[in-house]
C-alpha cells in the first residue's frame, strides 16, 4: 500500500477505531454521569485533568520528535524508542511526586486526594503508550495503535460500568483507567516487534540528543497544559463541586469530538508533511490546504450542531435534570472546537517545517491571558465563563498561527470552502429548526443528511480531489511514491 492508498488505509483504520472508541467513551460518560451525579463526575474529571497536566512532564516533548525523526529516517526508530522510554520512566516518578505535593497544597478532601492518587498512576502507562504510537505513526502504520485504542476504551467502559453497578465508588473506577491503559501498552508492544527492532539499552549520546531536541516541544506542552487544562483546577477552587461537574460534563463532550484532528492531522498528515517539507514545498502547501479544507468541512457543521442541540444532547447523555446547566457551557465551547480543528493543521505545519519554537512563543502568550481571564470570569460566570475563555484562547492562538505559518504554504483558497460550509450548515439549521421537538436522533440524522446534500450541491469536495481518491484505490500515487524514494537529508535531532 503506497501513497494515497496508505493514507486512506490508515485513515480508515483510525475511523473504525474511533467509531468504537467514541461509542465506548460516550457510554462510559453517560454511566458516570448518571451514577455519580454532577459532583462525583466532577471529581473523576478533576483527577483525569491532573493526570493530563502532569502527563506532559512524562511525555517530555518526545513523541512529536519521534514521529518526525522516524518518518524521515526509519532506522532511528529502535534506539530513539528505547532511550525515550528510559527518560519517561524517570519522569513518571518525578511527575507523580509533584502530583502528591500539589494536590496536598490545594487542600482537597481526603477522598478526592485518593481518587487523584489512583488515576495519576496512569502517568507511566500513558507515557509509554504515546511513544509506541509515535513510532507507529512515523512508520505510517496506524492499524495496530488504532486497534489498541479501541481495546483500551472498550475495556475501560466494561470495567468501569461493572464497578459502578456494584457501587464500587470513584476510587476503584479510577483504577479501571489504569488497567485499561496498561492493556493498550501490552497490545502495542506485541505488534511493534514486527516493525521495529528495539535494543533495550540506554545510549548516552542518543538520550542527550533526544533531550535537547525535545526541549522546545516540552516547553510548548507545559505552557499548553496550563492554558488548556488549568481552568478545571481554578474552577475546583472558585466554584462548587456541582459547577465543576457541569463544566466537566460539557468539556468531556468537547474532548470526545477532538478525535477528528487527532486522526487526520496528528496521526495521518504529520508524517507525510514531515517528509514533504524536505522534498517539495509546493506539495507540502497542497497537503496543508487540503487539511484545512477538511477541518472546515467537518468542523463547521459540528460547531453549529452542538450550539443548536446542546440541551437535548446533554439530557440524552447524562439523563439527569441537574446537568442542564451544562448546555450553556457546551454552547460556548462549540465555536472553540471549530477553531481548534483549524489550529491543529497550522500547528502541525510549523512542526513539520522545524518551526516548533514558534509554538512555544504562542503558548507563552496564551498562558497569562488564559489564567487572567479565568480568574476574572469564573467567580461571576462559573462554568460558562470558563467555556468562554476556552474559545477566546483558541481564537487568539489562531491569529498567532496565521501570522507564523509561511504565506507560500498557507494561501487563501480555504476561505471559499469556509463560505460553502457556512451555507450548507445554514441549510442544516433550517431543517433542524423546522423539525422542532422531534427526537434527538431524528434531528441529528436529518441535519447530517441535509448538510451532505447541500455539500454535494455546492461541490464542497472538488472534482479533482474525488478523482484523486478514486485513483488512489486502484493505483499508486506518484507524488508520495517519489517522496518515498527521494534521498532525505539527515535528521538534526
Domain for residue 493, yes or no? no
Average pLDDT over residues 401-419: 80
Domain for residue 492, yes or no? no
Assign 221 a pLDDT band (cuts: 50, 70, 90): confident
pLDDT digits (tens, 9 = 90+) for 137-177: 777 677 788 888 888 999 999 999 999 888 888 889 889 99
Assign 467 a pLDDT band (cuts: 50, 70, 90): low
- Residue 483 clears pLDDT 60, i.e. is over it: no
User: How many Å apart are CA 292 and CA 346, to the nearest integer?
Assistant: 8
What is the reported pLDDT for 85?
Answer: 84
3-state secondary structure the chain: CCHHHHHHHHHHHHHHHHHHHHHHHHHHHHHHHHHHHHHHHHHHHHHHHHHHHHHHHHHCCHHHHHHHHHHHCHHHHHHHHHHHHHHHHHHHHHHHHHHHHHHHHCCCCHHHHHHHHHHHHHHHHHHHHHHHHHHHHHCCCCHHHHHHHHHHHHHHHHHHHHHHHCCCCHHHHHHHHHHHHHHHHHHHHHHHCCCCCCCCCCCHHHHHHHHHHHHHHHHHHHHHHHHHHHHHHHHHHHCCHHHHHHHHHHHHHHHHCCHHHHHHHHHHHHHHHHHHCCCCHHHHHHHHHHHHHHHHHHHHHHHHHHHHCHHHHHHHHHCCHHHCCHHHHHHHHHHHHHHHHHHHHHHHHHHHCCCHHHHHHHHHHHHHHHHHHHHHHHHHHHHHHHHHHHHHHHHHHHHHHHHHCCHHHHCCCHHHHHHHHHHHHHHHHHHHHHHCCCCHHHHHHHHHHHHHHHHHHHCCCCHHHHHHHHHHCCCCCHHHHHHHHCCCCCCCC
What is the reported pLDDT for 485?
Answer: 40
Axis crossing angle, helix 281-308 with helix 326-352, rounded to the nearest 10: 180
What is the reported pLDDT for 475?
Answer: 43
What is the reported pLDDT for 366?
Answer: 87
- Residue 41 clears pLDDT 90, i.e. is over it: no
Assign 183 a pLDDT band (cuts: 50, 70, 90): very high
Domain for residue 376, yes or no? yes
Least confident segment among 18-32, 215-229, 371-385, 473-487: 473-487
Greater confidence (135 vs 117) lies with 117
What is the reported pLDDT for 330?
Answer: 93
What is the reported pLDDT for 11?
Answer: 59
User: How many Å apart are CA 486 and CA 283, to the nearest integer?
Assistant: 14
What is the reported pLDDT for 267?
Answer: 57
- Residue 9 clears pLDDT 70, i.e. is over it: no
What is the reported pLDDT for 436?
Answer: 77
Range of the domain at 410: 3-485
Domain for residue 223, yes or no? yes
Greater confidence (410 vs 1) lies with 410
Average pLDDT over residues 458-466: 69
Least confident segment among 57-61, 73-77, 269-273: 269-273
- Residue 357 clears pLDDT 70, i.e. is over it: yes
Average pLDDT over residues 348-355: 79
Domain for residue 346, yes or no? yes
What is the reported pLDDT for 490?
Answer: 38
Assign 238 a pLDDT band (cuts: 50, 70, 90): confident
pLDDT digits (tens, 9 = 90+) for 429-458: 999 888 877 888 888 899 999 999 998 888
What is the reported pLDDT for 449?
Answer: 92
Domain for residue 43, yes or no? yes
Q: Supply the mean pLDDT for the chain.
A: 81
- Residue 473 clears pLDDT 50, i.e. is over it: no
Domain for residue 491, yes or no? no
What is the reported pLDDT for 463?
Answer: 61
The closest of 359, 337, 340 to 349, measured between CA atoms, is 359
What is the reported pLDDT for 10?
Answer: 56
Assign 117 a pLDDT band (cuts: 50, 70, 90): very high
Distances (CA, A) of 386 to 109, 236, 381, 393: 23, 11, 8, 11
What is the reported pLDDT for 428?
Answer: 92
Assign 478 a pLDDT band (cuts: 50, 70, 90): very low
What is the reported pLDDT for 424?
Answer: 92
pTM assigned to the model: 0.75
User: How many Å apart are CA 27 and CA 93, to the nearest integer?
Assistant: 32
What is the reported pLDDT for 229?
Answer: 79
Domain count, the chain: 1
Domain for residue 445, yes or no? yes
Average pLDDT over residues 304-308: 91
Amino acid at each position: 500500500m503506497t501513497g494515497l492508498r496508505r493514507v486512506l488505509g490508515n485513515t480508515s483504520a483510525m475511523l473504525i477505531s474511533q467509531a468504537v472508541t467514541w461509542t465506548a467513551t460516550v457510554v462510559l460518560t453517560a454511566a458516570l454521569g448518571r451514577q455519580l451525579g454532577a459532583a462525583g463526575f466532577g471529581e473523576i474529571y478533576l483527577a483525569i485533568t491532573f493526570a493530563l497536566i502532569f502527563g506532559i512532564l512524562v511525555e517530555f516533548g518526545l513523541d512529536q520528535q519521534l514521529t518526525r525523526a522516524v518518518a524521515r529516517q526509519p532506522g532511528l526508530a529502535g534506539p530513539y524508542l528505547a532511550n525515550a522510554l528510559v527518560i519517561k520512566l524517570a519522569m513518571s516518578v518525578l511527575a507523580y511526586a509533584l502530583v502528591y505535593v500539589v494536590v496536598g497544597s490545594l487542600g482537597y478532601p481526603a477522598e478526592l486526594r485518593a481518587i487523584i492518587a489512583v488515576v495519576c498512576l496512569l502517568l507511566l502507562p500513558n507515557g509509554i503508550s504515546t511513544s509506541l504510537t509515535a513510532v507507529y505513526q512515523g512508520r505510517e502504520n496506524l492499524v495496530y495503535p488504532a486497534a489498541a485504542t479501541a481495546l483500551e476504551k472498550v475495556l475501560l467502559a466494561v470495567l468501569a460500568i461493572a464497578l459502578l453497578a456494584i457501587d464500587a465508588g470513584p476510587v476503584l473506577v479510577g483504577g479501571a483507567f489504569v488497567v485499561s491503559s496498561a492493556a493498550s501498552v501490552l497490545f502495542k508492544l506485541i505488534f511493534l516487534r514486527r516493525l521495529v527492532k528495539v535494543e533495550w539499552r540506554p545510549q548516552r549520546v542518543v538520550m542527550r540528543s533526544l533531550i535537547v531536541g525535545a526541549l522546545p516541544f516540552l516547553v510548548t506542552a507545559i505552557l499548553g497544559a496550563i492554558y488548556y487544562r488549568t481552568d478545571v483546577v481554578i474552577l475546583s477552587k472558585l466554584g462548587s463541586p456541582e459547577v465543576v461537574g457541569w463544566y466537566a460534563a460539557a468539556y468531556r463532550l468537547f474532548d470526545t469530538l477532538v478525535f477528528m484532528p487527532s486522526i487526520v492531522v496528528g496521526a495521518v498528515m504529520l508524517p507525510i508533511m514531515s517528509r514533504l517539507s524536505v522534498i517539495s514545498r509546493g506539495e507540502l502547501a497542497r497537503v496543508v490546504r487540503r487539511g484545512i479544507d477538511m477541518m472546515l468541512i467537518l468542523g463547521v457543521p459540528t460547531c453549529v450542531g452542538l450550539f443548536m442541540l446542546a440541551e437535548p444532547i446533554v439530557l440524552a447523555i447524562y439523563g439527569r435534570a441537574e446537568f442542564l446547566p451544562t448546555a450553556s457551557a457546551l454552547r460556548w465551547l462549540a465555536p472553540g472546537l471549530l477553531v481548534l480543528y483549524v489550529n491543529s493543521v497550522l500547528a502541525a505545519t510549523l512542526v513539520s517545517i522545524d518551526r516548533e519554537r514558534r509554538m512555544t512563543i504562542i503558548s507563552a502568550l496564551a498562558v497569562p491571558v488564559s489564567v487572567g481571564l479565568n480568574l476574572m470570569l469564573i467567580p461571576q460566570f462559573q462554568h460558562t465563563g470558563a467555556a468562554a475563555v476556552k474559545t477566546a484562547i483558541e481564537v487568539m492562538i489562531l491569529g498567532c498561527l496565521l501570522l507564523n505559518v509561511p504565506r507560500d504554504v498557507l494561501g487563501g483558497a480555504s476561505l471559499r470552502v469556509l463560505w460553502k460550509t457556512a451555507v450548507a450548515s445554514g441549510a442544516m439549521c433550517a431543517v433542524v429548526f423546522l423539525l422542532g421537538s422531534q427526537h434527538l436522533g431524528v434531528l441529528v440524522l436529518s441535519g447530517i443528511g441535509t448538510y451532505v446534500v447541500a455539500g454535494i450541491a455546492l461541490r464542497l469536495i472538488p472534482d479533482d480531489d474525488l478523482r484523486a481518491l478514486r485513483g488512489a484505490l486502484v493505483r499508486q500515487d506518484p507524488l508520495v511514491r517519489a517522496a518515498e524514494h527521494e534521498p532525505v537529508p539527515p535528521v538534526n535531532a
